[in-house]
Amino acid sequence: MTRMPFDVLRALPDGARRGRLQTTHGPVDTPAFMPVATHGAVKGVAPWLLEELGATIVLSNAYHLAQRPGVDVVQALGGVHGLLAWPGPILTDSGGFQLFSLAALVRVDDDGVEYRSHVDGRRGRFRPEDAVMVQETMGVDIAMCLDECVPADATAARVEGAVQRTTAWAQRCVAARRRPATALFGIVQGGFDPALRARSAAELVALGFDGHAVGGLCVGEPPEETRAIAAATVGHLPATRPRYLMGVGTPRDLLTFVSMGYDLFDCVLPTRNGRNGMLFTREGKLTIRNARHAGDTRPVDETCACPTCRRFSRGALRHLMMTGEMLGAQLASLHNLYFYLHLMREIRAALDEGTFPERAERAAGAWA
């Protein structure tokens, strides 16, 4: 299989780096944040608005799309790009984390995952080979191996077993590859044991993946533990391949993990918080439902150039949120996604200019 091209354009002594990933559907400048379109859409945000906000790559979920509308339907609609109406690169998670989150409906063994569908209750089996086939059939740019993700309180024996199973499944994923245009990433597991993380990384690196992800974090552990394991793991991943830290995080998290040398990120916080009325600003968190915003004519963030801040006041946005108008949730999500994507642009510019992290710190503002 031909490796997906990845160039490190600039690397700083502390680990932060500026890169460019080449995919079938175009380049991705890194570090990059991927808006989450789990079921085939970023909630409340049309794809042309994502482009306007500055997104270059989005993330969807192979397991969920296989459940509904089904792989055959996705293929008939023009693949995952046709379903999402998104012309740029798409990365899909295989579903390992989602199956972990549906633990009451699944049983894991060495062959794969036996599940009861959360959609219609039917029983099925999802194996590493199925994960690769589903993602390749849907025409994704970057596919993820099937891995076993365990909870934060898992026993040492269970964590070690998950590492063994993740490696065995990764070997089967590599053997199942058929489509050169779809890159394949392995996922490092190992819980909160640095030695197991190092072992998992070494075993996966030896398989020659196009890139490497660090999974099994943000599963209920304290933030300082997330940072410690991310820092301990990144050095075991090759500098010549992209590094993806899955499922993080706040704006301050992004700065922290970029500094470590990670390249790709995803998180549901921008849209989930937006739907609930919490907005990201350079002054920190803004809860738009608070009564003090009722008559406020200022935009959410006076330094922001997003469509929401260009057109709507805090008072107007609060009114939409309080009356349950779907436009309110959409506008809040637009603003939050812009905040994240603009922050990543500022980070890349700072890396290009050699002003990282000072310029990036200013862009993140008061966010902790």
Q: Which of 214, 249, 267 is the last residue of a domain?
A: 267
CA torsion 140-141-147-151 (nearest 10°) is -90
What is this structure's pTM? 0.97
The yes-or-no verdict on residue 55 having pLDDT over 70 is yes
Query: Mean pLDDT over residues 27-38, rounded?
Result: 98
Question: If we measure between CA atoms, which residue out of 156, 145, 144, 148 comes closest to residue 110?
Answer: 148
* Sign of the alpha-carbon dihedral angle for 50, 341, 87, 127: negative
Tens digit of each residue's pLDDT (9 = 90 or more) over 62-77: 999 999 999 999 999 9
The yes-or-no verdict on residue 100 having pLDDT over 70 is no
Residue 300 is predicted with a pLDDT of: 98
Do 234 and 349 reside in the same domain of the chain? no
Q: Does 331 or 119 have the greater pLDDT score?
A: 331
d(CA 287, CA 291): 10
**Other residues' Cβ atoms within 10 Å of the Cβ of residue 103:** 12
147 is catalytic: no
Query: Mean pLDDT over residues 197-208, rounded?
Result: 98
d(CA 318, CA 181): 45
| CA dist list (Å): 116 to 17, 86, 93 | 42, 30, 19
The yes-or-no verdict on residue 220 having pLDDT over 90 is no
Do 71 and 174 reside in the same domain of the chain? yes
Residue 31 is predicted with a pLDDT of: 98
SS3 call for 278: strand
Do 246 and 293 reside in the same domain of the chain? no
d(CA 30, CA 128): 28
Task: Give the number of C-alpha atoms closer than 13 A to the C-alpha of residue 201, restricted to the C-beta side.
Answer: 25
Query: Mean pLDDT over residues 120-129, rounded?
Result: 92
**Other residues' Cβ atoms within 10 Å of the Cβ of residue 322:** 15
For β-strands 284-287 and 278-281, DSSP reports them as antiparallel
Residue 228 is predicted with a pLDDT of: 98
Burial tier of 115 (Cβ tally within 10 Å: 0-12, 13-18, 19+): buried
266 is catalytic: yes
Q: Which residue is catalytic, options 147, 266, 296, 352? A: 266
Domain that holds residue 314: 269-368
Structure tokens at 341: 């994507």
Residue 310 dihedral angles phi and psi, to the nearest 5°: -75, -25
The yes-or-no verdict on residue 284 having pLDDT over 80 is yes
Do 196 and 310 reside in the same domain of the chain? no
Residue 367 is predicted with a pLDDT of: 79
Residue 194 included in any domain: yes
| Cross-strand bridge partners of residue 142 | 91, 183
Do 140 and 83 reside in the same domain of the chain? yes
Q: Which residue is catalytic, options 14, 93, 193, 210? A: 93
Tens digit of each residue's pLDDT (9 = 90 or more) over 126-183: 999 999 999 999 999 999 999 999 989 999 999 999 999 999 999 999 999 999 999 9
What contacts 340, CB < 8 A, 6 or more positions away? 33, 251, 254, 267, 270, 280
d(CA 132, CA 144): 8
Do 172 and 109 reside in the same domain of the chain? yes
Query: Mean pLDDT over residues 302-323, rounded?
Result: 98
Residue 1 is predicted with a pLDDT of: 55
Do 247 and 278 reside in the same domain of the chain? no
Structure tokens at 163: 């590492």
Q: Does 368 or 90 have the greater pLDDT score?
A: 90
Mean pLDDT of the chain: 95
Domains: count for the chain: 2
| Cross-strand bridge partners of residue 99 | none
Do 293 and 225 reside in the same domain of the chain? no
Left, alpha or beta for 85 (phi > 0: left; psi -120 to 50: alpha)? Answer: left
The yes-or-no verdict on residue 219 having pLDDT over 90 is no
Q: Which of 267, 285, 310 is the last residue of a domain?
A: 267
Query: Mean pLDDT over residues 196-207, rounded?
Result: 98
Do 106 and 251 reside in the same domain of the chain? yes
Sheet of strand 106-109: strand arrangement:
106-109, 112-116, 123-126
Query: Mean pLDDT over residues 23-46, rounded?
Result: 97
Band of the pLDDT at 117, cuts 50, 70, 90?
Answer: confident
Q: What percent of the chain clears pLDDT 90, i.e. is strictly above it? A: 90
Structure tokens at 121: 């209750």
Do 242 and 355 reside in the same domain of the chain? no
